Amino acid sequence: MKLNIRKFSKMAAIIFTFSFLAFTPANHEEGMYPLAQLGSLDLKKAGLEMAQSDIYQPGKIGLTNALVRLGGCTGSFISDKGLIITNHHCVFGAVASASSPEHNYLENGFYAKDEAEEIKTSLPCKITLSFDDVSDRVLKDVDPTSAPEEQQQKIEDNIKAITEAEKESYPDLKIEISEMFVGKYYTLFRYKMLNDVRLVYVPPKAVGKFGGETDNWIWPRHNGDFSVVRAYENGKPYKPERHLKIDVNGTQENDFVFVLGYPGSTYRHFPAQYLTYQNDHLLPLISSWFDERIALLKQDAKGNVAKELQYASTIASLSNTTKNFKGKMQGLRRTSILNNRFEEQNKLQKFAMANGDPSDDEVIPRIAALYKRKNAMADDYILLNQMYSASGMYYAAHMRNSLKAEYDALEKSERKSWIQNSGKLMQRVKSGFRVVSTEMDYTLFGSLLYRIFKSGDGRADVALEYLNLNNPSKKEVIAAIAKIWNNSKYANKTKTLDWIENNPKKFIKAKDKIQDLAAIFGPQVTTMRRDWVDISAELDALMPRLADIKQNHYGGNFIPDANATLRLTYGYVKGYSPSDAVNNDPFTTIDGILEKAQPSGDYYMPENILEKFKTVNANDNLKHPTKGQVVVGILYNLDTTGGNSGSPILNAKGELVGVNFDRAFSATINDFEWNESYSRSIGVDIRYVLYVMKYVSGADAVLEELDVEL
């Protein structure tokens, strides 16, 4: 059964909109607004020149029909033949996978002159078709007085039943129920999936990643973080219901702009103690560990192009996360967010004690007690769970132990069938068995084990005893792990993959010392995870009660946290002052590239491209009106977060003027709180996008399809 979005129930959307009116912020520049909430905004007053209903209106085609979720990023259709523009970093892994030392598209860029040359990727493309408020159905028969685990299980059962019923009605669509606010609001989304996405144009790495990790999360910015792909359906270019028009003239300072996209996660309505968990545990631990991983991977790949390509996506992801976390830590130090959140909770507690409802008295103290338990185990829990991503060999050994236990628990008559139907389980093993070299695998695992030992909570004691180590140095831990890894069956990658794919029984019957280590840590992780889940379940049960206290006290005044569903945010092209005596303009130009360019490193720019930057007399409408140079980057005060990478920056007429890709370092704290003084997002200006395609790469076929003349 196919969904006709023009028959979508307007009444459901209207009801959903009113249910969220209590979540509208006082400052309308702040907010990642769900589609159902757009009716509560006055975008005309803010500066919108198009009909607000042309952005989104139930049952009609609007700008939102041009939006896609591309992997973990956002993209937008820019032609009626399925061209999608997104970020260079969003297709980075796909380009690395398509590259080789002989055809290094990651380094040199890629341009398909026609459809026959386009390269297929594994990127999934998801298009929002419609949504319904299903809060009442999800919360049906959930007893708020029952145990938290029972409440959580009932919610999960209801979600499963609703999803399965929807899938019967719409078998061709992807059905997802998103939690808009834990324990209170739930939305069912219907998505069209396109699983054939092909590379069309990717700028050279020196352009797309200019500034590298040095400039990541930094303004001023001078990288062309964009790429173009094409979506296919049934082997033919997909024809979208709406695609964006490009404004080759770009935008100017103080212009109204808005962004549509799929922002990932924010934590603005979480308790104050959650910020303590972030600040004291998650952020410092992960940023420090990721820094070490990055250094080890870079050292291992140095001078080896094949390894550099294999590690490229992992290093980029780790680097992005660690710098983001450092920005958050700086933000929590430099602002009063943490203190303000605790002060607010103290006020709410006083209000709860005075409002005459005894059931509210213990909500906030209970939340504090639960986070005290959670934070007490946080360091080891975080580090132990990193083992599975640090070492592909350890992950395979851990999975083998789990599958062996499952297999052994079966009756003998059931085991043959289990083996025959173990394909999906083995695919999970294969997906985590990412081993470039045994040496790097044991170095990473040994380094992590040493960190767990130094945490001081004794979680590594049994493992160290197994390794015959007593108060060891890091070098000694790595050396002991190296002996086991070098003699392991998993060191033979070809043989291990053959077992996983063709002989699962042999895989689960294998014996190995890495499995012994996994058996030592496995029960610890299981016990901690059980405690963690139990605590989280009780916190989830308390969150709607905390929200009720807030609403009773304030009369509302907040909107749902971002959760990877389609949102709108708006504001203005604006500079800012991130620190004393520093004032930043909202635009950068090619002059900045010429100033930064170096013969190697993060600011590497090949001479042939530099020469074009110096000599090409670009079309005047690509230039800054006063600086006389081609505009590269654009800065604006919109409310964005992870997942907004690749989001279109749209002007007052709904035309494409840039592609969002980052936030300023001070704005990484947006996930906790937005503030006009420090919250700035960064995009590549459409003028630079067109300049690069035209003058650097000669991608005339793409420009022609976009109906752009320069």
What residues form DSSP beta bridges with 120? 198
Q: Are residues 705 and 665 located together in one domain of the fold?
A: yes
| Residue 650 and residue 702 in one domain | yes
Q: Mark out the alpha helices in 5-62 (DSSP H runs).
A: 10-19, 43-46
Residue 628, exposed/middle/buried by CB under 10 A (0-12, 13-18, 19+)?
Answer: exposed
Are 232 and 200 in contact by the 8 Å Cβ rule? The answer is no
The confidence score (pLDDT) of residue 16 equals 40
- Whether residues 31 and 62 share a domain: the answer is yes
pLDDT at 559: 82
Distance CA 34, CA 523 (A): 41
Asked, for residue 252, whether it belongs to a domain, the answer is yes
Residue that finishes a domain, picked among 510, 540, 570? 540
- Locate all alpha helices (DSSP H) within 474-569, ordered by sequence: 474-486, 493-502, 504-509, 513-554
Q: Which of 488, 508, 540 is the last residue of a domain?
A: 540
Residue numbers in the chain where pLDDT is lower than 50: 1-26
Read off the amino acid at residue 252: Q
Q: Which of 512, 540, 568 is the last residue of a domain?
A: 540
Alpha-carbon separation of residue 154 from 139, 177, 187, 531 (angstroms):
8, 15, 17, 20
CA–CA dist 95, 115 (Å, integer)? 17
Rg of the chain on CA atoms, in Å:
26
Q: Are strands 631-636 and 681-685 parallel, antiparallel or unpaired?
A: antiparallel
Residue type at position 625? P
Reading the block at residue 609, the tokens are 């491209």
709 and 628 in a common domain: yes
Both 489 and 633 in a single domain?
Answer: no
Strands in 295-338 per DSSP E? none
In a domain, 480, yes or no: yes
d(CA 307, CA 630) in angstroms, rounded, equals: 36
Would you call 690 helix, strand, or coil by DSSP? Answer: helix
| pTM assigned to the model | 0.89
**Is 180 within a domain?**
no
The neighbour count for residue 576, using CB atoms within 10 Å, is 20
Q: In this structure, what are the phi and psi dihedrals at residue 575, rounded to the nearest 5 degrees?
A: -80, -175
At 29 the pLDDT is 60
First to last CA, the chain: 45
How far apart CA 518 and CA 473 sit, in angstroms, is: 21
Does residue 20 lie in a domain region? yes
Q: Which ranges of 391-512 would DSSP assign to H, the alpha helix?
A: 392-408, 412-420, 423-432, 438-454, 461-466, 474-486, 493-502, 504-509
Do 697 and 291 touch, CB atoms closer than 8 A?
no
Give the three-state DSSP class for 71: coil
Sign of CA dihedral 594, 596, 600, 602: negative
Asked whether residue 518 falls in the same domain as residue 667, the answer is no
Q: How many domains does the chain have?
A: 2
Task: Record the tokens describing residue 686, joined without a space.
Answer: 């459409």
- Residue 39: the pLDDT is 86
d(C-alpha 653, C-alpha 98), whole Å: 37
Q: Say if 151 falls within a structural domain.
A: no
CB 63 within 8 A of CB 54: yes
Short-list 197, 200, 196, 243, CA closest to 79: 243
* C-beta neighbour count of 526 within 10 angstroms: 11
Q: CA-CA distance, 148 to 363, in Å (whole number)? A: 13
Q: Are 506 and 565 within one domain?
A: no
Say yes or no: 399 and 520 in one domain: yes
User: How far apart, in Å, are the Cα atoms of 8 and each of 14, 478, 702?
Assistant: 12, 60, 35
Q: Find out whether 583 and 575 touch, Cβ atoms under 8 Å.
A: yes
Per-residue pLDDT, 346: 96
**What residues make up the domain containing 491?**
272-540
User: Which CATH number does the domain housing residue 578 bear?
Assistant: 2.40.10.120
Q: Is residue 410 part of a domain?
A: yes
Task: State the Cα–Cα distance between residues 290 and 314, nearest whole angstrom.
Answer: 10
Sign of CA dihedral 253, 259, 265, 270: positive
DSSP state of 696: I
DSSP string, 313-371: HHHHHHHHHHHHHHHHHHHHHHSSHHHHHHHHHHHHHHHHHHSS-GGGTTHHHHHHHHH
Contacts of 117 (CB under 8 A, 6+ apart): none
Chain-centroid distance of CA 59 in Å reads 29
With the CA atoms of 591, 593, 594 and 596 taken in that order, what torsion angle do they form, in degrees rounded to the nearest 10? 120
User: How many angstroms separate the CA atoms of 105 and 117, rounded?
Assistant: 13
Say which residues have a Cβ less than 8 Å from residue 430's Cβ, sequence separation at least 6. 497, 500, 501
Using DSSP bridges, classify how beta strands 227-233 and 196-202 pair: parallel, antiparallel or unpaired: antiparallel
Look at residue 15 in the predicted model and tell me its pLDDT: 36
Tokens found for residue 502: 């063709």
Give the whole-angstrom CA distance, residue 403 versus residue 408.
Answer: 9
The structure tokens listed for 160 are 């499963």
Q: Which amino acid is present at 3? A: L
3-state secondary structure of 704: helix
Same domain, 243 and 349: no
163 found inside a domain: no
Together in a domain, 61 and 75: yes
Q: Which residues pair with 618 in a beta bridge?
A: none
SS3 of 110, please?
Answer: strand
Query: Is 167 among the domain residues?
Result: no
Please state, in angstroms and rounded to a whole number, the distance separating the CA atoms of residues 300 and 314.
13
In whole angstroms, give the CA distance from residue 619 to residue 609.
Answer: 17
Q: Please, what is the Cα angle at 597 between 594 and 601, to 5 degrees?
A: 170
Whether 185 and 558 have beta carbons less than 8 Å apart is answered as: no
* Residue pointed to by tokens 């013969």: 599
Q: What is the pLDDT of residue 8?
A: 37
Contact (Cβ atoms closer than 8 angstroms) between residue 585 and residue 685: no
- Looking at the structure, tell me whether residues 337 and 262 fall in a common domain: no
How many helices (H) and strands (E) are present in the chain, helices listed first? 26, 21
Cα dihedral sign, 605-608-613-619: negative
Mode of pairing for the β-strands spanning 236-237 and 227-233: antiparallel
Instruction: Say which residues have a Cβ less than 8 Å from residue 603's Cβ, sequence separation at least 6.
Output: 210, 211, 212, 214, 596, 597
* 522 and 633 share one domain: no
Indicate the SS3 state at residue 681: strand
Upper half-sphere CA count for residue 636 (Cβ side, 13 Å):
34
pLDDT score at 557: 53
CA distance 578 to 581: 9
